[in-house]
Chain A
Amino acid sequence: MDSIIQGKAYVLGKNIDTDQIIPAEHLVYSLSDPEEVKLYGKYALSGVPLAEAGLPEGNRPFVTEGEFRSEYSIIIAGSNFGCGSSREHAPFSLQVAGAKAIIAESYARIFYRNCVDGGFVIPFETSETLNSSVQTGDELSIDLENNTITNLTRNKTYTLRPLGDVYNIVKAGGIFAYAKQENLMSS
């Protein structure tokens, strides 16, 4: 795990559910075939209504038409990110598109677990409402050791809530890596 994550911000509202992250019609592709998984990147966040895609202006799709990688690697959102279904395809599609971290006010439980246990993207929480002060395209830098995020474009630093209980799973890279490390799988 890198101690610094730097990249461009993609800003969303609150209650971004898993149908907006990856619409259900796309859940049929293989998650292991290297070519087919690109489709998950292509359609990542494609269910977000255009007006709310890439705030504050909107109308900025996460992934450009014809691409499967996004120019944005840090997602900034309001409360209850990832609500809805249990589909692990959701954090997976964000990872395929190139997202490294999400910073939201809160998460739905299953999405949060999937991010952590699958080692897809790191779900950070803040108590501040970042999606009104950060704009899509701002350059951000997350410092994992000091639990801070700096908006390099606007020269502002915010505090992240420590990952707590799940820090060691995130650091190991997922539940399997963690379980091996802790000898939990020898049963």
Chain B
Amino acid sequence: MLKKILVLTVLAINVIFAQDFNNLKIYINPGHGGHDSNDRYIPETGFWESEGNLAKGLYLRDLLVSFNANVRMSRVTNNSSDDLPLSQISEDANNFDADFFHSIHSNAYNGQTNYTLLLYKEVNGSPAFPQAKQMCDIMALKIYEAHRTTTKYTRGDYSFLGFNLGVLRNLTMPGTLSEGSFHDYIPESWRLRNDAYLKHEAWAIAKAFIDYYGLQTLQVGEIAGILRDHDKLVDYYYIPSTTDGKKPLNNVSVTLLPDNKTYNGDTYNNGFYLFDSLAPGNYQVIVTAEDYSTDTLDVTVQANKTSFADKWLTLVENYNIPQIISTIPASGSADVRLSSKISIQFDIPMDKNSVESAFVISPDVQGTFQWSDNDKLLEFIPSNKFSKDTEYTVTIDTTAHTIFNVALAAPYSFSFHTRKKLNLVSYYPADNSADISTTVKIILTFDAPVSVNTLGNNIFFKDAGGNSVSLAADQSAFAKGQIIFWPVYPLEYNSNYKVILKSGIGDTDGLTLEEDYEINFTTEKDRYVNGSIIDSFETEGLWWQPGQSGSTTGIDASVTGFELTTGKKYNGAKSGKLTYKFTAENGICRLYNPAEPDLGNNDNSLFGLWIFGDFSHNVLEYWFRDSHGTNYPYFVDTLNWTGWKLKTISLGDLGIAGNKKFHSIVIKKSPDGSEEGELYFDDLQTDVVPVKGEIQLPEKFKLYQNYPNPFNPSTIIKYAIPVAQKAESKALRVQLKVYDVLGREVATLVDKQQSAGTYQVIFSPEIVKGGLPSGVYFYKLKAGDFVQTHKMLLVK
């Protein structure tokens, strides 16, 4: 019954609004992305404006889309790279030809104010778009009512700021900017960390759009409120005319009757809760919070409004003896970081002064105390780092007592031992390993963040002759306790290399490795000559997204995806990049090629795909089909390498009689595999030619005669590209085209950058629209200054 009501409610919303927004185009700009210098951060609460703005924007998008609006956002993630410059945002909005532009922000001033501000572009004292001023008036009221800020203002940007806001400057449509509330006012900053609070602002903005466009108002309403401690006051500034002085409760639990929905709150000191999309009528709200009394409120919901139901709760008296539930570090811990803090979790709210007085650490360490979780969680933050290789003992004696004056039954002690040195936990390649990719990515993992300053003269990458190998490094890895680097140019085949780590490599605790390491490895022996390319991963749209495949399961769809990229490639200009994240141990990520290319019936053919491995230890499979459509999954390898490797299988090993079709690359989560990874694919092919040992690169250009000739239905054209003459260009632009006897171009078989090597392509007249008639054709190879043409004969 409940489900039916909910479904009907959702349907009702959609029916009411199905035509109302009627594809109105709305552009949403969540301001300040990326946790960078353009962002705003409040250290006291951990609030980032980029996060708040984005959450509001995403909720707003979902609401507007559900009302049948056409919505575009300037960003949907929170990285510096997608925090577009204002010139690009305005160009994107103009290209979209939006009917309205809205930029979402929160405000900051002196930490003691909290009003709602809406800005529009103003020229010569008037709104550049009168509609924008009208929207500001509507939206300011809606947000003011939702957030219950102290007041609201609508202002022209020039009058208010003395300049025209760049974000509204170059738009071809009315634009507004909302500063919903002040994120440097600490009570509001805590509230802005609550997801439901941000959603409530999105509802307010959505309602403003409904009013602005004169659409039928919402037939649903919300219940929202803040639960606070009846007696305790906050220890930060609050505006006296508000109730913000009363301490908000954490871990609130609010149940709505008769819907029987429950809202569980967070631990961000806001006490906020929200129920939305409620049909008008009478409800009961049962409110409580951990350690607090329970109360019931009667609330009437009205359409298109928020009904507020705040409550001040009292702490439930508890005369049990307090227990220490856990500590960090746990008792007996070894290798504890020198920059650690100490956490002690009690089961009953404690009297802070008594616990702090009862806290002793030996050897003595100076530090400060912080309390959270309703005074049940104590954190001790040392003023200086702990000493290395030292046993510390923390004792809370029996003078510590609860706020109800019940003392610990016995002194509580726990000990831990600090780290002695930096430890190398794992590394790839393994020492004395062979068959390593010539484009290997070397991964060294330590037990603490690495100090970049200690790496000079302490880490070396050398070839067999003792020469240093030019390398590039992942700068973001150091903070994760990793050193990740790779050769700038491919290594030599079948050659020995070594990575030398000196004892002076240090971590951010100031500890060093204290011993030298040497990791030796040999690169792979075998080379390959490209066979017949099935997909060079240069063309969009040939593969489904993993989420489109029915076999894909247990993945995070917001992260998992496939795209072509120029960032890393084995050949040509692009490769295919698969980013995946598993959410289940039996996760499967399938990349499906709907063309299901036919591989023929040659059991001796070697099938292969160049894969840049991610060292995830997940499982790689290729999936094939026989002529009856039966699926043949084939285990290829565990993803236990980095760098480009051609992963081949012999088609004869599939056990498929007759023609075989390839259709999918599949990654399966293995028990010890990483939850997420990133793979690159290039040059999917059959008829791979393995070359054992040294390969002779061509010394000169050559275009071979096609085979077979005459031909029908297809023929192979082979050509050779020598080592580039100019050092700065490792690859040449290579074009191979087919012309008819009148000199008209009928097909382009190759048009891309290629490095030295021997290549072959299959020409089938079927690729030409409408096919080709029998007759003489010419194929011309153009590579740099080299041009050569041969004749071939198609016989039908």
A and B are partners in one complex rather than unrelated chains: no
Instruction: Report A's interface with B, CB cutoff 8 A.
Output: none
